[in-house]
Structure 1
Amino acid sequence: MSTVSFPYFSQLPLELRRMIWMQCLPHRIAEEDTPDCFFSGYRSNQACDARHTTRQNAQPPTIAFVNSESRQVVLEQGRILESVEGNDLKWLWVQPRRDILHLNWTRMLYAIQGVDDDATGPTVEFLLHATDLGMRPSVVAELIHPFNLKAVLYDADGSDASDSAEPFDYYGNPNIPEATYHYKKPDDVRDIVDMLTWGKSQITLHVALAGVSLHITREAALSSGLFGLLGDAPVQMVDVDDEARLRGFQALFREHALEKEPAAQVLFESFTSPRFKTAVEEWKRKAEWSILARMWQSAREEELDVLGTNPGSAWLPQLPEQKYFTMSQYLLDEANPWVKQARQIAPKLRLQIMVQYCTNECYIKERLPKGFGWPFCK
């Protein structure tokens, strides 16, 4: 990146200077908490102490510290938002009109932290934050349905994937979507669905399926232009089918860190593999079933006329009243009027991969905190 100065900047009209400051503002993935499981070293074989990145990502933009004029632009576009209770991150800077608000929390964190699994999660508070600020919401896949990245990685590194092809959840149960006939707390999927469908219009929900961390210098990140014009957007989301952008991040990694961290190379190769695309499509099918099952719960409890006198008729085969039902037993009847209506207002899922840069060189074990890595993050 050129470091040539422009001494006549102060002589430009104020309106033009403000336009330039605006162009310097980043577009961020504003994280409310740390993405611990993406970079635990278990799920993807890549270890990264993501607290460094998340804390950097929570700071006001770089131009806030240039002069009073640039700081005024920053203050007009952003504000401080208190983070989820119980996290290391106490607050973060958000730009409601520019940023996506992202939650890394998953219910399995309660098992790790020794908290009762029946406790209510932070999803409602998070979605209220997003709604109040008018920000686009983003969550990790596991909040809706677990995504089995391990099976894809086994195939990518040449190992036998046969033992991992059948996905399981974090407790060893078959990874098949399940729902209750009657509403049961807690249910994060139900919370998300109820919050995002109340307006009766389709809302896009960004979903992070996996993550990769580039351990590079800030100078390398800055010169690449991939993490904001001034390198102050260290967390990015890339659509799973945006191979050109993924290869751009991969090229940056190969130039600066290939020999140091082969695990990241395996991740990049996996993200553009046919096996990954198949896994993504399978996850999407299961996630949509889970979402519509919760929407059906709400519609049945509200006794909506569109369901008629027999709510179970929305399913094939017809669903009788029972405690639990699974995707392997029941599929939605696409010809049913309620199903057609529900698909029109169900959240639209935008599937993505989190890419961040970290200057901590976490591939050096001594740079990671003692006891780093959670075995539940598989």
Structure 2
Amino acid sequence: MPEDFHDDLPDDDEFIPGTSTAFLGNSWIDRTRDAAHLNWGPSYQAIYQRSDGSALACFAWQCRQVAGRPSLMADWFAWSRSLYEERYDVLDDMPNCWVIMRVVIIHASFEEGAQTGLFGLLGDATVQIVSVFDREKIDAFYDFADEQNSQAFSVTRFSHTTPESWKQKLEKGAKSARISEKVLSKMHPAIMFRLCTSRCNSPTEKGPSAE
């Protein structure tokens, strides 16, 4: 992000995760098209125990700076408030938001990704968020993932959880975290698909198995 992107961030909303990815250097941002995504969750806080400030408050502020629909991990709805102190009140003013119920990594080349039409015209849109209710598109991603994994040294078959089951899981988590009905009505379950072009699951490469 630009160096001055956070200049107007209120002190109370500042968040420093304290991980190795905390400083990403300079990059550009398109406020009219980009969307904020919060990959931090209560489980990270429990592991690192070094973050300062409010992750949710900083996220809510970033959502107001860019036009795309924001997203956050379902981890936030799986932890009770009694286990983690956070400023959940900021969610009241959040716009409609994707809740990432599952992350699926698909190992393929840019060319293969582009040919499917699932990751942009050039295969350069390597992160896609799809509503769990868009069954046709979800199935297309899973079919592509299964096709690519069949060529890997470690084969993973993805279970096709029903949209209703995802919605129920989100609602159950939200209730355990005591999230209000107002906030829950703006949270929509989705799956994140990521295109990995490093071939780290190829029989000719050493790396982790497909997720």
Say how many residue pairs are matched: 192
* CA deviation after TM superposition for structure 1 residue 120, in Å: 3.4
Q: Name the residue aligned to 1:284.
A: 170
Greater helix proportion: 1
The SS at the match of 2:143 is: helix
Structure 2 residue 107 is the aligned partner of structure 1 residue 215: yes
Q: Name the residue aligned to 2:118.
A: 226
Picking from 329, 340, 352, the partner of 2:190 is 352
- Alignment-mate amino acid for residue 367 of structure 1: G
Contact 2:33/2:66 (<8 A) preserved = no
Structure 2 residue 22 is the aligned partner of structure 1 residue 94: no
User: 1-side partners of 2:26 and 2:173: how far apart?
Assistant: 31
- Alignment-mate amino acid for residue 91 of structure 2: V
**Cα gap change, 1:93/1:367 in structure 2, threshold over 3 Å: closer, same or farther?**
farther
Query: Normalised by the size of structure 2, how large is the TM-score?
Result: 0.73
Gaps of 5+ in 2: 7-14
The 5 A counterparts of 1:51-130 are: 80=2, 85=16, 86=18, 88=21, 89-115=24-50, 120-130=53-63
Structure 2 residue 39 is the aligned partner of structure 1 residue 141: no
User: 2-side partners of 1:241 and 1:216: how far apart?
Assistant: 25
* CA deviation after TM superposition for structure 1 residue 287, in Å: 4.1
Contact 1:204/1:350 (<8 A) preserved = yes
- Alignment-mate amino acid for residue 362 of structure 1: C
**Identical aligned residues as a percent:** 24
User: 2-side partners of 1:257 and 1:281: how far apart?
Assistant: 27
* CA deviation after TM superposition for structure 1 residue 289, in Å: 3.0
The 5 A counterparts of 1:1-378 are: 80=2, 85=16, 86=18, 88=21, 89-115=24-50, 120-143=53-76, 145-146=77-78, 178=80, 186-188=85-87, 190-196=88-94, 203-260=95-152, 261-263=154-156, 265=157, 267=158, 270=159, 272-274=160-162, 277-278=164-165, 280-289=166-175, 293=178, 295=180, 343=182, 347-363=185-201, 366-367=206-207
Query: Normalised by the size of structure 1, how large is the TM-score?
Result: 0.44
* CA deviation after TM superposition for structure 1 residue 233, in Å: 0.8
Alpha-carbon displacement from aligned partner over 1:64-116 (angstroms, at most 9, x marks no partner): xxxxxxxxxxxxxxx74769744523455433332322111112213322437
Contact 2:98/2:189 (<8 A) preserved = yes
Q: Name the residue aligned to 2:12.
A: none
User: 2-side partners of 1:241 and 1:104: how far apart?
Assistant: 22
Larger Rg: 1
Alpha-carbon displacement from aligned partner over 1:238-289 (angstroms, at most 9, x marks no partner): 11121211121123234433231422x2x2xx1x245x743x2332322443
Q: Name the residue aligned to 2:10.
A: none
User: 2-side partners of 1:227 and 1:93: how far apart?
Assistant: 21
Contact 1:235/1:357 (<8 A) preserved = yes
Alpha-carbon displacement from aligned partner over 1:138-185 (angstroms, at most 9, x marks no partner): 100112x12xxxxxxxxxxxxxxxxxxxxxx6xxxxxxxx456xxx98
**Cα gap change, 1:250/1:294 in structure 2, threshold over 3 Å: closer, same or farther?**
closer
Say what the alpha-carbon RMSD is for the aligned residues: 3.2
**Cα gap change, 1:289/1:127 in structure 2, threshold over 3 Å: closer, same or farther?**
same
User: 2-side partners of 1:256 and 1:134: how far apart?
Assistant: 33
**Cα gap change, 1:91/1:246 in structure 2, threshold over 3 Å: closer, same or farther?**
farther
User: 2-side partners of 1:363 and 1:125: how far apart?
Assistant: 35
**Cα gap change, 1:366/1:191 in structure 2, threshold over 3 Å: closer, same or farther?**
farther
- Alignment-mate amino acid for residue 262 of structure 1: V
* CA deviation after TM superposition for structure 1 residue 194, in Å: 4.0
- Alignment-mate amino acid for residue 113 of structure 1: Y
**Cα gap change, 1:351/1:250 in structure 2, threshold over 3 Å: closer, same or farther?**
same
